[in-house]
Structure 1
Amino acid sequence: MAALVLASVLVAPVPALAAAVTVTNGTQFTDTSGAGVHAHGGGVLQVGSYYYWFGENRNSNDTFKAVSAYRSTDLKTWEFRGNVLTQSSASELQNAKIERPKVIYNASTGKYVMWMHKENGSDYNEARAAVAVSSTVDGTYTYQGSFRPNGTYMSRDITLFNDNGTAYMISAANENYDLMIYRLNAEYTGIAAVVGNFWPGGHREAPALFKRGGTYFMLTSAATGWSPNQAQYATAASISGPWTGWANVGDSTTFASQPAYVLPIQGTTTTSYLYLGDRWAGASGGPVNNSTYVWLPIAFPSATSMSLSWSPTVTIDTETGTVTGSTAAYYRITNRNSGKVMDAVNASTANNVEIKQYGWNGGGNQKWDFQDAGGGYLRLVNQNSGKCLDVSGASTADGANIIQYTCGGGTNQQWQWAATGSYYQLKARHSGKCLDVVASSTADGADIQQYTCGSGTNQQWSRTAS
């Protein structure tokens, strides 16, 4: 995987005159036509009142399809502007993998320059950086080729940073055990110098670099494939160091996401910093284009520290520059027939843990967050584990087991809360079947399954704020 950070044009950004909007986390955004936004592993460039979002759009086998471009004034209403780089752009992009593209503007040349991580479609042995250039921000980008920095260094997860006209590229090297900082040439199309390898052996990837006041922040993840892990950051007063060691930020899985980049939102009253992460579908075996997004406001306890907290939704006002998170509302979900509640067995945080019914005890494993999954469907997230209510194996059969699993974009984790009198049925989106207590049992430990919807009270539920 590769990473991307904001690269701003070298003029004072024009505040986007848009009303405040609310973004729901753990969802896949849609564009103004209703299609999914495929900007995975992407980054944002502000040009005038528009934010341009570039990212990965992959084929079903995860090979490169396109770098897709979108624009928005409010960071929620995304207009698809086109596939600005495609397989047909160059012969070496056919059956390739292109990860985390980012775009930077060169005020001296008037060009928009895209960097990305390039691999062949069968393995990860190339570990090359690639470059493309365009005269317009959302026009066709002309592919310039791929290479290893200085001819020798591996280059995987990648990001750019524009520091008052001096541009830098950061990428994971040495099988992701090193993180290299390079200064770009005057055209931003090649490497001018190696700035340094400040964390040798650190095994970090997904770098996202930003600056707040006089402090540079380097945000990264560990290298654990698709599986989410603990994000860490380092700081420095100069991009050339000295840099601090790594410090944890967020929870142990970064709220089931990986950093893509950090977006400063400069408005009329303040500048906020927004974490943009990907919740990769690959963690649950799905294709990249099923991945969803996690956006969170960054807090700064001091000038040289940062913190991330979970928010089910984030409200963004690009005009004022304010970004605020919400507090999750958790519910116990009670079966009408038994009076018992949905419970993740033994308060486990593992994948595939069974969901059964038990008497209410107030534990976090019995509390659920109802998150908007779009299209009138919900995702039910367990407070204790942070994992989603899931029909095992995406089965459509009667009797399919109900478990908790890492949240993804699958419709077997999306539910309709459908009224039936004063109670509700929970209908799985992928199968149309209902959450059901097996054999209408009233016992502790009775299993919960999916079953063809009927009128039984063992398929009827209520929720109570906890």
Structure 2
Amino acid sequence: MFLTLFLATVCTSVSAQKQKGIHPGEIWPDTDGNHIQAHGGGITKIKDIYYWYGESRAKDLDPQYRYVSCYASKDLTNWKFKGNVLKMTAPDSLASNWVLERPKVYFNKKTNKYVMYLHIDVNYKLANMGIAVSDNPTGPFTYVKRFKPLGFESRDIGQFIDDDGTAYIIFEDRPSGGFRIARLSDDYMDVEKNMSLIKARIEGGAIVNYKGLYYCLGSGLTGWKPNPNKYATATSLEGPWTEFKDIATLETKTYGSQSSMLIKVVGSKKTTVLFTGDIWKPDTQWDSRYLWMPLQIEDGKLWLPAPTPWKIDIKTGETTILKKD
């Protein structure tokens, strides 16, 4: 019995040890040694702490609820589980097979509120946005409402904060034949102005402003199955946007991942843009993985290198490729 306890302690210690780098496609343990459950998520930075919000797909969750998890990190590598910050039953008497996806959290400096946007749906026909709010980044968040932004359908949503601090949301508007970039209201509690309708059949939209040029990318409409993600550029969010080009070789299908968000790390020596994507496993969703990699981006061209272990220095913004074990 003592030997069993000893071995269990050793195993827990090993699995929970500090991560020295990011290993795309592998189990990503949090500081407790558990695989991170933050799928389809987004990253919000408050001072020197990054908060990662996502869909929890853990095995032991009560099926009558939908959960949004939260993790915190200072280095984008080692993440501490802060709990499930939103736990919801079906809002407004929706059917029991309702879905809650793609949580994105914005901090509003004027109201000191944390505003969470969600995709809420039933059979992927309702096509609503939802909003929940909290006074703290680690919740609890309280559901407020669901709606069709500016009267349009909304499925996958993406988050973007421009360099001037203006907050935008990206959402797929299938009947209009593309996806929209829209500005949020001053209090972030509504979608205020349509900036662009990009005529491309794309979901999982993500945007970054890099050296004065906007890069927008997303994946094709193939459900859980991966496909070649593509990107376009523009000098303004209102466009015009260039034609979409592949971010990786076609046969890799974005290395089995789907775009979730682009993270810009501005360091003392370098500004690095990170591709964050989900490797979905629909039959074993709790085992879905993540593909995070620094992008090669310059002069209007963007490329996702083949995934390999790597690390980032948050202070300098520099990344280093690690030797594979």
Which band: TM-score by shorter chain? 0.7 to 0.9
1:136-175 per-residue CA deviation (whole Å, 9 max, x = no partner) reads 1112112111111123x11001012122232211100125
From 93, 96, 101, the counterpart of 2:103? 101
Matched, 1:48 2:47: yes
SS at match of 2:21: strand
From 110, 113, 138, the counterpart of 1:111? 113
1:69 paired residue number: 70
1:452 paired residue number: none
Return the letter of the residue paired with 1:188.
Y
1:44-80 per-residue CA deviation (whole Å, 9 max, x = no partner) reads 1111221110001136699863100000112221111
1:395 paired residue number: none
2:65–2:90: 8 Å Cα contact kept in structure 1? Answer: no
1:31–1:78: 8 Å Cα contact kept in structure 2? Answer: yes
Q: Distance in 1 between matches of 2:310 and 2:222?
A: 27
CA RMSD of aligned residues (A): 2.3
SS at match of 1:289: helix
1:310 paired residue number: 306
1:63–1:97: 8 Å Cα contact kept in structure 2? Answer: no
2:178 paired residue number: 178
2:79 paired residue number: 78
Return the letter of the residue paired with 2:114.
Y
1:229-275 per-residue CA deviation (whole Å, 9 max, x = no partner) reads 11100111111111111011112210111111111112222221111
1:87-115 per-residue CA deviation (whole Å, 9 max, x = no partner) reads 25956586531111111111121111111
Q: Distance in 1 between matches of 2:208 and 2:93?
A: 32
1:138 paired residue number: 138
Matched residue count: 302
SS at match of 2:236: coil
Q: Distance in 1 between matches of 2:93 and 2:51?
A: 26
Q: Distance in 1 between matches of 2:92 and 2:83?
A: 20
1:207 paired residue number: 205
Q: Distance in 2 between matches of 1:166 and 1:309?
A: 30
Q: Distance in 2 between matches of 1:326 and 1:67?
A: 32
Q: How big is the shift at 1:176?
A: 8.3
Matched, 1:292 2:294: no
Q: Distance in 2 between matches of 1:78 and 1:261?
A: 17
Q: Distance in 2 between matches of 1:194 and 1:251?
A: 32
From 224, 239, 242, the counterpart of 2:240? 242
Q: How big is the shift at 1:196?
A: 2.5
1:21–1:74: 8 Å Cα contact kept in structure 2? Answer: no
Structure-2 change in CA distance of 1:59 and 1:154 (3 Å): farther
- Long gaps (5+) in structure 2: 1-17
1:409 paired residue number: none
Return the letter of the residue paired with 1:98.
L
Q: How big is the shift at 1:35?
A: 1.8
Between the two proteins, what is the percent identity of the paired residues?
35
Q: Which moved more, 1:287-296 or 1:222-231?
A: 287-296
SS at match of 2:295: strand
1:316–1:322: 8 Å Cα contact kept in structure 2? Answer: yes
Query: Normalising by structure 1, what TM-score?
Result: 0.61
- Long gaps (5+) in structure 1: 1-18, 329-371, 373-466
Q: Distance in 1 between matches of 2:268 and 2:225?
A: 39
1:382-429 per-residue CA deviation (whole Å, 9 max, x = no partner) reads xxxxxxxxxxxxxxxxxxxxxxxxxxxxxxxxxxxxxxxxxxxxxxxx
